[in-house]
């Protein structure tokens, strides 16, 4: 089967074409050659380029359109602002309906996009998102077109939640990546693995406190630099590959490979410069990563997702776990919701896993919108 791929580049209500030529909203629309799908999926992430998403051709071969869509923050998560990203997603949804001629739009929330797409639908049906303090709301934020269905695959409960679960609770000084409380050090053999319940309780508490500690500093710093006439600044967050589940497979057992995270062995990668939130601005921290302030936490938004919903998780994922999928299902407001677990890693790279996922999604869509 021949697959048609169309590049789509569009302005946003709050951003025009860049001087170098690029539009703020970009993506690739895939569908079977010579067909005009009535149903299409749109997938977007906070910062990762989804224009050539790995599921695009699989679904196109099954008669479903697929728009891999990027907001202006593709490759630039360190400057992410939620309200502007939602407006950019709305540009893609409108394009599917008004230009591609799609009758049914399905939001695909894959990985980090799971929470983002739940926020989008939540805002579209019941406007609730506000801008970061000191900023005006993005133009068009209260005029987003709602979608008709929601699918979550290998998704977690939001950027603040996943960061806090992964961040190293033993860090004692954010300005010094080496500073460590040995009694909380995940990689100190005196502590484990395996980790006992007392250690895990202290460690999880320390992770939450670390997130709140950064938020307090961010707010104080905004006040300090604001008094000097500055709007924002960059800073780094170190050591964010330290979820105990990555190291100790006896915690929430699955078929995942033990002592692994998405970029390698946790002890090594935790000391690298490749962690999530490694670089962000003060305002991006509040918009994206703060437990206290970010509106990217999925739980309240999932309650406003009342359209048909499908949740799929992989049993060999080293960063998203069955408890994440279970919470997503429990918080969804949909009366029509189903969940499945496939034998797959985070990217469904196991032999046959992508075909199995595509068959499952296509059958689920056909049953409701065929």
**What confidence score (pLDDT) does residue 63 get?**
97
Determine the average pLDDT of the residues in 165-186: 97
Answer yes or no: is pLDDT of 43 > 90.
yes
The percent of residues above 90 in pLDDT, for the chain, comes to 96
Terminal-residue alpha carbon distance, the chain: 21
Tell me the pLDDT band of 20, cut-offs 50, 70 and 90.
Answer: confident
Q: Is 125 exposed, middle or buried (0-12, 13-18, 19+ CB in 10 A)?
A: middle
Share of residues in the chain with pLDDT > 70 (%): 100
Beta bridge pairs of residue 4:
31
Q: Which band of pLDDT confidence, cut at 50, 70 and 90, is reported for residue 159?
A: very high
Confidence of residue 18 (pLDDT cuts 50, 70, 90): confident
Give strand ranges (E) for the chain. 3-10, 25-32, 39-43, 65-70, 104-110, 149-153, 234-236, 279-281, 309-314, 337-342
Confidence (pLDDT) at 370? 84
User: Both tokens of residue 222?
Assistant: 């905004």
CA angle 269, 275, 277 (to 5 degrees): 165
d(CA 77, CA 80): 5
Tens digit of each residue's pLDDT (9 = 90 or more) over 288-336:
999 999 999 999 999 999 999 999 999 999 999 999 999 999 999 999 9
pLDDT tens digit sequence for 204-215: 999 999 999 999
| Burial state string for 81-104 with b = 16 or more CB within 10 A and e = fewer than 16 | bbbbbbbbbbbbbebbeeebebeb
Q: Which of 316, 307, 305 is nearest to 119 (CA)?
A: 305
Give the tokens for residue 228. 């000097």
Q: pLDDT tens across 214-268, in order? A: 999 999 999 999 999 999 999 999 999 999 999 999 999 999 999 999 999 999 9
Q: Are 285 and 214 in contact (CB under 8 A)?
A: yes
């Amino acid at each position: 089967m021949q697959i048609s791929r169309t590049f789509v580049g569009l302005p946003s209500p709050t951003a025009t074409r860049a001087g170098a030529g690029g539009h703020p909203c970009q993506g690739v629309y895939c569908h079977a050659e010579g067909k005009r799908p009535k149903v299409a999926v749109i997938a977007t992430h906070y910062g990762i380029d989804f224009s050539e998403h790995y599921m695009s051709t699989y679904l196109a071969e099954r008669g479903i359109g697929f728009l891999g869509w990027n907001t202006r923050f593709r490759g630039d998560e360190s400057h992410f602002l939620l309200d502007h990203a939602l407006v950019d997603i709305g540009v893609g949804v409108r394009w599917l309906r008004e230009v591609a001629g799609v009758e049914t739009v399905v939001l695909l929330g894959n990985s980090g996009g799971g929470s983002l797409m739940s926020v989008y639908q939540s805002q579209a049906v019941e406007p609730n998102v506000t801008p970061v303090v000191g900023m005006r709301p993005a133009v068009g934020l209260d005029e987003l077109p709602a979608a008709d269905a929601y699918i979550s695959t290998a998704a977690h409960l939001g950027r603040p939640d996943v960061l806090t679960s992964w961040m190293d609770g033993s860090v004692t000084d954010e300005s010094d990546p080496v500073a460590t409380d040995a009694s909380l050090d995940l990689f100190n053999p005196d502590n484990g693995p395996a980790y006992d319940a007392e250690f895990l309780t202290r460690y999880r508490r320390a992770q939450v406190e670390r997130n709140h500690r950064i938020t307090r500093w961010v707010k104080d710093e905004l006040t300090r630099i604001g008094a000097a006439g500055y709007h924002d600044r960059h800073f780094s967050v170190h050591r964010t590959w330290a979820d105990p589940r990555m190291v100790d497979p006896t915690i929430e057992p699955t078929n995942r490979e033990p002592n692994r995270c998405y970029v390698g062995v946790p002890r090594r990668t935790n000391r690298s410069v490749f962690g999530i939130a490694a670089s962000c601005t003060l305002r991006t921290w509040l918009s994206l990563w703060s437990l206290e302030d970010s509106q990217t936490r999925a739980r309240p938004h999932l309650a406003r997702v009342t359209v048909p919903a499908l949740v799929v998780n992989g049993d060999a994922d080293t960063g998203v776990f069955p408890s994440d999928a279970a919470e997503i299902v429990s918080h969804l407001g949909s009366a029509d919701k189903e969940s499945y677990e496939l034998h797959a890693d985070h990217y469904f790279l196991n032999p046959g896993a992508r075909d199995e996922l595509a068959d499952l999604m296509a059958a689920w869509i056909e049953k409701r919108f065929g």
